[in-house]
Amino acid sequence: MTHILIVEDDVEAALTMQKGLKEQGFDSTVTHDGEAGLKALRGGGFDVVVLDRMMPGLDGVSMLEIARSEGMDIPVLFLSALGELEDRVYGLKAGADDYLVKPYALVELVARVEALLRRKDTGAVESVLRVGELEMNLITRVVKRGTTEIDLQPREFQLLEFLMRHVGQSVTRTMLLEKVWAYHFDPQTNVIDVHISRLRAKLDKGFDKPMLHTVRGEGYQLKA
Amino acid sequence: MPFRIPNFRNLSLSGRASGSENRSPLFGMRLSANVFRQTPFRLTLMFITVYSFVAVLIFAYIYIASSSETKAVSDAQVKSRIDYLEEVYREQGEAAVLETLVEEDITEWFFIKNIYDDQGRVLAQNRRAMTEVTPRVFNHIRERIKTLPDARAPFQINYRLTDPAGQRKAYAYRGQVLTLRPGLNLYVGMDTSWSEKGFDMGFKALWGGGVLVIVLGLFAGMIINNEVSRSVQGLMQVFDAVKEGDLKARAKLRHSGDEFDALAQRVNETLDRMEKTMGNLKYAGDAIAHDLRTPLSRLRSKLEVSLYDVEKDPSQAPDVIEKALAETDQLLRTFQTVFSMSRLQAAGQAPDQKPFDATALAMDMCELFEILAEDKGLEFTSEIDKGVTAFGNRDFLAQALANLLDNAIKYTQTGGITLRLRVNSRQEVEFSVTDTGQGVPEADRARITQRFVRLENSRSLPGVGLGLSMVEAVAVAHRGRLTIDEGPGVYKDQGPGLRTALVLPPYGG
């Protein structure tokens, strides 16, 4: 079972997070400061770390720098209430793999944790992605559902590729804007929804079983 | 340094200090012990001390230099007399020298001369010696001679006598003694009191002048001190008031154009700025509080009502919670936007700015928003110049453009949206969004960039009224600007539309 280390000084927030992750099937251990987090991390047995940036004593950035300098390459998701661009850049420079701004939706946290776990175990370069009857050839850029070829715009192709690489996981609007369009901002509107519904129309039209689902809250999920 | 001389009408030299202690700059309350601790007065004292020291040094130098000159001159003069008289004695004998000594011409008025025997009896003396050398003085001269190591060495004698008119008079002679033969001694002394008198006068002038300088200096010091402390105290009162929380306190300007006035002006300008900023913050705080209060109380009452519904029909629970979540998200988003804006405004400029491909940004925005417009049945067109580079923070600018495009789509019912990117005639990078919606009346255009301002016809649409405020904050943080103009005009049931432009300064690359 996947084991997550949560380093968060706000006890209540940490417990809520632990409960939420448990619901999604992730076990977690909570520590409340950088020193304890580092100690737990040195003990090993974790698959991903959710690390709060601002903590009394050893803060998240310093703790991460120490961990990285000791050669620990465990994926780390940074949490911060700051949320501005320079803070994110700073966090990523310190060695974080992803960055999430408080307040966040639980689904967003889970989605990002899943993405980090995924990153950890896929090292191989694939040329064909398959999800159920959906097949994407990354070289010829042909997408088929069953025998039906689906004609996609370049961005729709990238969108679907991302969803296929995170099959079975929830991905949020912010994640999509960040990973597919490479922008970090709050689109404020349903602009991502419109793109998804376009893709969904092409993907699920004429098929009984929909593959692209809307997740209650604020995300999407591709299911086989 | 242009010290400001105060209005002398304010100087009260008499004891007229009552009732207007603040306006009596010289002898009012200010002249207390702490005047010595005030900088201008201390500087004055320092200058007076330095001046006095230098004056004394100069005078001492002159005194030493000229008194040694006086000695040299008088010694030479005395020696020439003695030599002459000795020659007379050697060539013409004792009687001749006695006669010569007595019958001298008027040029010898500066000298006393006498010849005396070993018992101290005067054998001959000139006229001046007769009047100015009393037996007592003469004895004094003889006593002095005995103390000299070298009998021919020059020596100085000073004495005072009461003259026949009854006035005390100071005498100073410098002279020498020559023994012509045992029992025949010649003394010649030269009056050096003129030199002493000159020094006396110089000394008196210096003292008098010095005292005058010191008195005037102190006087000026106090005036300057009062002038400065009045200005400084005015400023200190302002700072005290501000410290106590009165941001409206301002220093009084005297329009004299001096440094204190300039300083007071800066202080006032700074306070104006602070007051405005505080006002903005307070306004933003109030606005957030107001804006959060409404949805929060709505959320609360909805949850309250939902609780009854859920008790009756538990299957409704997910729906209720989902709606509550959506409302909470909206609140958080509002909060986040205001927070971002405040950080931008506080920093004064957007972080992490670098050259970026403006053409690509415009194309990405097109691609993102085109289908949103099409979904609403609007035509989306773009005119994007190729190869435009701009300098800035790409994500903040994307946010700003997204807000402009989102607004345009939201407020346009029929017609279309156009996104343009061009380098204008001033080499500025100009992103503009034109729509064919109802537009914004000119009178409201300045207002709509303010936080939480929403026009009447937009109240039914989602949003909180932060979009354009954010765009403006982003523009300013890039030393650019947001302009809002009328769109393409009225056509059938459309228009006149709105044209918003985000203009960035020229990229010099």
pLDDT tens figures, B279-329: 767 766 676 676 667 667 877 887 888 888 888 888 888 888 888 887 787
Look at A83 and B393 and tell me if their CB atoms are within 8 Å: no
In chain B, list all ranges with CATH 3.30.565.10: 350-504
Average pLDDT of chain B? 82
Instruction: Report the C-alpha gap between B351 and A84 in whole angstroms.
Output: 9
Instruction: Read off the pLDDT band of B370 (50, 70, 90).
Output: very high
Distance from CA of B267 to the nearest CA of A (A): 33
Look at A183 and B396 and tell me if their CB atoms are within 8 Å: no
CATH number 3.30.565.10 is the correct assignment for the domain at B350-504: yes
Instruction: Read off the pLDDT band of B21 (50, 70, 90).
Output: very low
Instruction: Report the C-alpha gap between A83 and A99 in whole angstroms.
Output: 9
The verdict on ipTM greater than 0.85 is: no
Q: Does B398 touch chain A (CB under 8 A)?
A: yes
Q: What are residue B380's phi and psi, to 5 degrees?
A: -115, 120
What pLDDT, on the 0 to 100 scale, is given for residue B359?
A: 95
Question: Residue A58 carries which DSSP code?
Answer: S
Percent of chain B at pLDDT > 70 equals 87
What pLDDT, on the 0 to 100 scale, is given for residue B6?
A: 43
What pLDDT, on the 0 to 100 scale, is given for residue B10?
A: 40
Q: Could you tell me where the beta strands, DSSP code E, fall in B80-217?
A: 111-116, 122-125, 155-162, 168-181, 184-191
Of the candidates B332, B375, B398, which has its C-beta nearest A103's C-beta? B332
Q: Does B357 touch chain A (CB under 8 A)?
A: no
What percent of chain B is helix, strand and coil (3-state, nearest 5)? 55, 15, 25
What pLDDT, on the 0 to 100 scale, is given for residue B385?
A: 95
Residue B417, pLDDT > 90, answer yes
Residue B29, pLDDT > 50, answer no
* Region class of B257: left (phi > 0), else alpha (psi between -120 and 50), else beta: left
Closest alpha carbon within chain A to B361: A183
Nearest to B335 by CA among A196, A41, A186, A57: A186
First to last CA, chain A: 22
For B70-96, give one letter per residue: b (16+ CB within 10 A) or e.
beeebbeebeebbeebeebbeeeeeee
Structural domain boundaries in chain A: 3-121, 128-222
Instruction: Report the C-alpha gap between B184 and B88 in whole angstroms.
Output: 14
Q: Could you tell me where the beta strands, DSSP code E, fall in chain A?
A: 3-7, 27-31, 48-52, 76-80, 98-101, 128-131, 134-137, 143-145, 148-150, 170-172, 212-215, 219-222
Instruction: Read off the pLDDT band of B11 (50, 70, 90).
Output: very low
Residue B214, pLDDT > 70, answer yes
Residues 169-228 of B with CB under 8 A from A: none
Nearest to A171 by CA among A83, A112, A105: A112
pLDDT digits (tens, 9 = 90+) for B116-149: 888 888 888 887 888 777 787 788 877 877 777 7
Closest alpha carbon within chain B to A177: B368
Q: Which residues of B touch A191 (CB under 8 A)?
A: 368-369, 372, 402, 406
**Domain B65-198 carries which CATH code?**
3.30.450
Look at B402 and A185 and tell me if their CB atoms are within 8 Å: yes
- The answer to whether B509 and B458 are in contact (CB under 8 A) is no
Closest alpha carbon within chain A to B410: A189
Look at A187 and B325 and tell me if their CB atoms are within 8 Å: no
Of the candidates B325, B339, B352, which has its C-beta nearest A89's C-beta? B352
* Type and span of the H or E element at A202: helix A191-204
pTM: 0.58
Question: Residue B494 carries which DSSP code?
Answer: B
Look at B352 and A83 and tell me if their CB atoms are within 8 Å: no
pLDDT digits (tens, 9 = 90+) for A156-175: 999 999 999 888 888 888 88
Residue A195, pLDDT > 90, answer yes
Percent of chain A at pLDDT > 90 equals 30
Residue B265, pLDDT > 50, answer yes
Q: Does B467 touch chain A (CB under 8 A)?
A: yes
pLDDT digits (tens, 9 = 90+) for B443-499: 888 888 877 777 776 666 767 678 898 999 999 999 999 999 988 888 777 779 999
**Domain B259-345 carries which CATH code?**
1.10.287.130
Average pLDDT on B327-356 reads: 81
Distance from CA of A172 to the nearest CA of B (A): 14
- List the single best residue of A80, A185, A196 to mutate versus B (max B Cβ within 10 A): A185
What pLDDT, on the 0 to 100 scale, is given for residue B363?
A: 95
Instruction: Report the C-alpha gap between B125 and B101 in whole angstroms.
Output: 6
Q: Collect all residues with Cβ–Cβ distance below 8 Å to A155 and sequence separation of at least 6.
A: A180, A181, A195, B367
Residue B226, pLDDT > 50, answer yes
What percent of chain A is helix, strand and coil (3-state, nearest 5)? 40, 20, 40
Lowest mean pLDDT among A112-126, B10-24, B190-204: B10-24
Instruction: Report the C-alpha gap between B52 and B56 in whole angstroms.
Output: 6
More confident call, A214 vs A125:
A214
Lowest mean pLDDT among A77-91, B230-244, B371-385, B474-488: A77-91
Residues 299-338 of B with CB under 8 A from A: 318, 322, 325, 329, 332-333, 336-337
Position B389, amino acid = T
More confident call, A86 vs A65:
A65
CATH class of A3-121: alpha beta
CATH class of A128-222: mainly alpha
Residue A184, pLDDT > 90, answer no
Percent of chain A at pLDDT > 70 equals 92
Q: What is the token pair recorded at B502?
A: 């985000």
Look at A194 and B371 and tell me if their CB atoms are within 8 Å: yes
Strand partners, A150: A143
